[in-house]
Homo-oligomer: A and B are copies of this chain.
Amino acid sequence: MSHNSFGHLFRVTTWGESHGPAIGCVVDGCPSRIAITAEEIQKDLDRRRPGQSKFTTQRREPDQISILSGVFEDPETGDQVTTGTSIGLMIQNTDQRSKDYGDIAERYRPGHADYTYDEKYGIRDYRGGGRSSARETAMRVAAGAIARKVVPDIIIRGALVQMGPHKINRANWDWNEVNNNPFFCPDKEAASLWADYLEDIRKKGSSIGAVIEVVASNVPAGLGAPIYAKLDQDLASAMMSINAVKGVEIGNGFEAACLTGEENADEMRMGPDGKPVFGSNNAGGVLGGISSGEDVVVRFAVKPTSSILTPRRSITRSGEEVDVMTKGRHDPCVGIRAIPVGEAMMACVLADHTLLHRAQQGG
């Protein structure tokens, strides 16, 4: 049992605080002879990196990844490959501005984990959110880059499908649009509207929530387990472990509550290649905890960051009533940067279940 690990066989253990000397993780259980370079991991990290548009925090986090163990040059191919041993990854923290943290140390920011950490541990590293900083998610993205290599045939893509009350028009969905706007939005029209909407939020020093959808295509049928360690259960666990996530759904999710059995059933027919095809995918690619071969679809809701310029009422560590305003460089919509993180968690869960599935196949 670990408080800082995720996964059954493809297992990621993270460490590090926002303003400590470094953050890192250990990836255990990765099969050997998988080609991987720091550059490939860096590419995924760069998608998550802040400061890429005015809509994400202006902190400078170059987030330069180092692979410290678990790889070696393949004598046959010359590629750097995994050796099957634990992979140590690290990012040095560089943007640790020296400043006075006196206020944060004492004041509990509403919506943050300040109070609960103090209640649990009696102490906390308050600098920049410490362990609770979204900075920890950089290591998820790094581990996810390796996970993708474990399941190279699976395509994992994420998109922002709702910003505040504004949903995309699904008829406009175009994966190619996702990288054409600063929101990872698949609907060109929505992206355009969101730009104005979010600029307004940003200027006010406010923040807004969002919904992210992550889709895995080309997932083989048979991943998962029937009762616990269900594929959808592990996905729910993975997504809910991301900072600020308050809800997770698979396939049509909460919409399923409104449907009749007739409406909700995904009918089956034989496809031209002798494989079953489903007429719909309300199930989101998971039946009874096991993948069906359809796209695995998960959505999660991210709350607005609690770091806002408008003062909120709160208390101090010693019980004094105060107003708290969070100055600094914050994301007006943290959901944007959660997309690479959601993709990474999907990759980790699918890599993990791929290994579990192999374990149970006859020799």
Contacts and interface: CB of A to CB of B under 8 A. Distances in A.
A32 B359 CA distance: 11
Nearest to A285: B116
A287 B259 CA distance: 33
Contacts of A62: none
A31 B227 contact: no
A130 B256 contact: no
A67 to B, nearest CB: 9
B209 A312 contact: no
A189 to B, nearest CB: 19
Contacts of A243: 288
A290 interface: yes
A209 to B, nearest CB: 4
A28 B8 contact: no
A133 B318 CA distance: 50
B32 A85 contact: no
A112 interface: yes
A28 B13 contact: yes
Interface residues of A, number: 155
A201 B5 contact: no
Contacts of A239: 236
Contacts of A253: 246-247, 301
Given A3-B225, A120-B224, A265-B110, A241 B247 contact: no
Nearest to A105: B75
Interface string A52-70: 0000000000000010111
A21 interface: yes
A119 B270 CA distance: 15
Contact of A31 (B261, B262, B265, B361): B361
Interface string A175-187: 0000000000000
Interface in A311-335: 312-315, 319, 321, 335
